[in-house]
Structure 1
């Protein structure tokens, strides 16, 4: 039977379509501006390029350092994501699936940290990093990002794990599975949608992180993409090479688009199941 659409359904679809345009139009505008020459850009920002200037991407990659910064970002984000997700998954399991004394107190202290501004931790974190000689190091930045757990991710993944039936672990225990085997072979596979959802959020957070790398890294050759974008923007005060900057912005968007295309189904599944079960 064909579904009937009311007048309000049409209105909502039109509003959603217009909202989609407000998101996609700036991205498309940045892309076609990156294919112009600087005189064309300053003459008319709305006109299409007369000749596609693909050399802007080569210039952004080499001269403005977006190539090196993208490699730095892959190392920083990849290391932080793998190490951080391991700790987040392990902590979520311990706080939601294990029974031990003081568990509620620990949860309460973790929830209390929601009311503490993260800026307050910048000074003590910097002092610790400096004493450990981890400043101006991407590896040190990975350790800092991985060990600094987020309450939001614990709540999201913990809520997903707590909805899994306890009988599954009890059956595995009867079959002789150890605690780590129950965690790794039973809970983790069943929590894959939730883990992917948290991983995507973490990826976006690490990829767009500006303040941490800006504070701890002093060598421009180690800048990730967010700090390199800021550095290139400062150079525009002297060069006004905006079309090359737009090319760099387009390059910086590519990894996020790829991640979304690859994991959009698991991301939607994890968000939906978390909303229903959590």
Structure 2
């Protein structure tokens, strides 16, 4: 009886997972084949397949939405924020988990308290600070803002990896004359690489999809990132109604994070699971 109940439960869970997968895959497939239609076909029947595949919609979307410049802006913003932000997260996690100092418990308490504060509350003081430092309308300013604005989730995730490493590793390194930074760079960093990769992938997806920050701080169209560019592309549709070109642009904009996740999905799952076990 117990085995039968377990089998029914497993079957229900699988049905729910399949339904959830379908709810994600079907809209993506619909978006893709709509991008291969003409506007006439789209307005005539949104469910019908295209009579002739209109691959030229992608060339038109690339030119219309200036994806060349947008991809360069996004690469600079995401790449800079990812490298600097991940390094700062790693060094913060190292300091809070491997170094004993006065006030460490207070810092951890303050960090945990920040989980209960909506991030939108910091929007006004952040903007005033960025304006006074002349960092508005600057991709470099956005990199500084996103890198220094530590995420509690990433800090806790990476701390779980570093906290589980044996203390004897760094004690032996100190005996051999290694400095504190050498211990971090040559011992802790390599051993925590699974967690760093996991944090890096999550940071990439978050930065690539980040809309609010670039929307508020960037006023020059030539500096728009992908999320802001697609927002204004969608807004322009009320005047042009060229929806198939917009769909092609959306497909193009989705490719980088989708490809990244396909390539690194195993590392993400392994890293998240390992972090849960170690933490």
Do both share a fold (TM > 0.5)? yes
The residue number in structure 2 matching 1:86 is: 87
1:255 counterpart residue number = 256
- Identify the range of structure 1 (208-217 vs 115-124) with the bigger mean alpha-carbon deviation: 115-124
Q: 2:175 aligned with 1:174, yes or no?
A: yes
CA distance in structure 2 between the partners assigned to 1:117 and 1:65 by the alignment: 34
Aligned ranges 1:61-72 → 2 under 5 Å: 61-72=62-73
CA deviation string 1:86-107 (max 9, x = no partner): 1100000000111111111111
Q: CA deviation at 1:14?
A: 2.8
Query: Displacement, 1:218?
Result: 0.5
Distance 1:114 1:7 in 2: 38
Shift of residue 7, structure 1, vs aligned partner: 4.2
Aligned residue-pair number = 275
**Residues 41-66 of structure 1 deviation map (CA, whole Å, 9 limit, x = unaligned):** 11111111111111111111111223
Taking structure 2 as the reference length, what is the TM-score of the superposition? 0.94
Post-superposition offset of 1:212: 0.6
The residue aligned with 1:122 is: 123
In structure 2, the partner of 1:232 is: 233
RMSD: 1.5
Structure 1 residues 124-273: aligned runs within 5 Å: 124-273=125-274
In structure 2, what is the Cα distance between the partners aligned to 1:72 and 1:210? 14
Q: Deviations 1:3-22 (Å, cap 9, x if unpaired)?
A: x9934433332332222111
Matched residue, 1:110: 111
Counterpart Cα distance in 2 of 1:119 and 1:15: 34
Residue aligning to 1:75? 76
| Inter-partner Cα distance in structure 2 for 1:173 and 1:245 | 58
User: 2-side partners of 1:25 and 1:74: how far apart?
Assistant: 29
TM-score w.r.t. the length of structure 1 is: 0.95
2:107 equivalent to 1:101: no
